[in-house]
Amino acid sequence: MDAPDIKTPLPGPKAKAIIDRDKRFVSPSYTRDYPFVIARGEGAIVEDVDGNRFLDCAAGIAVNSTGVSHPDVVKAICDQAGKFIHMSGTDFYYEPQVRLAEELASIAPIDGPVRTFFGNSGTEATEASIKLARYHTKRQGIIAFLGSFHGRSMGSLSLTASKAIQRRGFGPLLAGVFHARFPEPYRFNGSADECAAECLSYIRDQLFVQLVAPDEVAAIVVEPIQGEGGYIVPPPAFLQGLRELASEHGIVLVVDEVQSGMGRTGKMFASEHFGLRADVVNIAKGIASGLPLGVTCARADVMSWPAGAHASTFGGNPVSCAAASATIKLLKDGLVANAAAVGAHLMAGLRELQRKHSLIGDVRGLGLMIGVELVRNRETKERAIDERNALVQSMFRRGVLVLGAGKNAIRIAPPLVLTRAQADTFLRVMDEALSE
Ligand code: PLP
């Protein structure tokens, strides 16, 4: 089943009824771009409550790595749920959590022995990494990047610098956080290496000189590819430069692989594309194919906090751990390779669309983590914000789910089971929508 199939005007009557109830009883803080109400799904195809079928290139915000309800994941969940659903790894032991920690130790982009802290979400992974870095270094400062997204709880939100609305009204946030520029090669007037050098120089020559001494900095927290910020791929020299700065000054380098990890980029972790080795890696989203799980993996000597320092009742829930182990097996057995192959095919098709449609300013990404930035004018690179929003709507009406990222980009983040035929469907629909 590759093609979308839209049978009713959107939203259909059943979807509309549910959305009306949602409007009355659910928090108004969520941002729904279009009225999609899921009933079921299989692979990269999702069906709404009115029987309309969509090609899913959003994957529940880059979460459903193995597709919707992959049978192996469902089996792992059911098997574990039939034995015990919860015990709390904070106070008791269970094998699924240990097994997953062992598996993560063998794949995390960290040198040497690795230990894992278990939470429930990306933001909890960020919180754990902030606390761990402060505890380990006995320092307070944190460097994060403009455009970044690390979560919305108070510590994570203090690092997040993606959209002002996410911070508005919630201050004061955590003290000691400094934001530096993240390199955006497409918008930089010069080479990628010059772009990296300028961003690194700001930290070294200004931030460390004028704002905070490096020996007061506990952590540098960075996404190897900025996700919510617009699927921005930095020059490798930037990430390598951060590694050097961190090592030189005894700063913990925290790499946020929450969105870019678990095979999405065609390697298990985006860090691998850049030869980047972290001290701490945060992972969530795709790790358990949709069950809630967030983990903080750290070099064993960095994860030096004592019993009682940090924990979470539900963190590392056995059912989530079982889903994660099944997910990792599927990723290793072919889905990472599929993300690389189908991602390259999609990228080539998008570059063709770029030649045809002047609205496409930039196509960037790795594997199945692809951003398309829309501009009104290729010379001035004026951001096509309304056009981006209209494109997301138009693709929805044509049966393809995508989300925006940054001010004027769309992100393509399908399940890693996406087939070449489905990628072609995506390209056809995007071509039609852009021609509209
Ligand atoms: N870090 C990154 C890079 C993310 O993209 C996100 C969510 O989009 C988070 C952290 C926060 O994850 P969660 O929404 O699970 O708290």
Domains, the chain, ordered by start: 13-69+334-435 (3.90.1150.10), 72-330 (3.40.640.10)
The whole-chain average pLDDT of the chain stands at 98
Position 245, amino acid: L
Bridge partner residues of 142 (DSSP): 177, 219
Q: How many CA atoms lie within 13 A of 363 on its CB side?
A: 21
How many CA atoms within 13 Å lie on the side-chain side of 109?
26
Any atom of ligand 1 within 6 Å of the Cβ of 149: yes
Residue whose pair of structure tokens reads 């929805």 in the numeric block: 396
Does ligand 1 have an atom closer than 6 angstroms to the CB of 50? no
Query: How far is it, in rounded angstroms, from Cα 313 to Cα 172?
Result: 28
Cβ neighbours of residue 403 closer than 8 Å, sequence gap 6 or more: 33, 58, 61, 392, 410, 411, 413
Helices and strands in the chain: count of H runs, count of E runs: 12, 16
Indicate whether residue 122 lines ligand 1 (CB < 6 A): yes
* C-alpha 125 to ligand 1 mean position (Å): 9
Ligand 1 mutation pick, 124, 156, 228, 285, max ligand atoms within 8 A of CB: 285
In the reported structure, the alpha carbon of residue 56 is separated from the centroid of ligand 1 by a whole-number distance in angstroms of 19
Q: What is the 176 CA–ligand 1 centroid distance (Å)?
A: 21
Residue of 30, 64, 123, 154 best suited for mutating to test ligand 1, as the one with most atoms within 8 Å of CB: 123
CB of 223 sitting under 6 A from ligand 1 = yes
Please tell me the distance from the alpha carbon of residue 129 to that of residue 69, in angstroms, as a whole number. Answer: 30
Q: What is the dihedral of CA 132, 134, 137, 138, to 10 degrees?
A: -130
Whole-number Å distance, alpha carbon 428 to ligand 1 midpoint, is 30
For residue 79, give both structure tokens: 């098997």
Query: Which residues in the chain land under pLDDT 50?
Result: none
Per-residue pLDDT at 267: 98
Task: Give the SS3 label for residue 134.
Answer: helix
pTM to 2 decimal places: 0.98
For residue 349, give every residue at least 6 positions away whose Cβ sits within 8 Å of its Cβ, in sequence order, or none. 423, 424, 427
CB 34: neighbour CB atoms within 10 A? 14
For ligand 1, whether the C-beta of 221 sits within 6 Å is no
Cβ atoms within 10 A of the Cβ of 106, count? Answer: 8
Ligand 1 mean position, distance from CA 59 (Å): 14
Tell me the C-alpha distance between 302 and 117, whole Å: 12
Residue 3: its pLDDT value, please? 76
* Atom nearest to 153 CA in ligand 1: 16
Nearest-angstrom CA–CA distance, 351 and 358: 11
Please indicate whether residue 231, judged by its CB atom, sits closer than 6 Å to ligand 1. no
Q: Whose CA is nearest to atom 7 of ligand 1?
A: 151
Compute and round to an integer the Cα radius of gyration of the chain. 21
Q: How far is the CA of 61 from the centre of ligand 1 (A)?
A: 9
Q: What is the predicted pLDDT for the residue at 1?
A: 59
Ligand 1 atom with least separation from CA of 228: 5
Ligand 1 centroid – CA 363 distance (Å): 23
Q: Which tokens is 179 given?
A: 């934001």
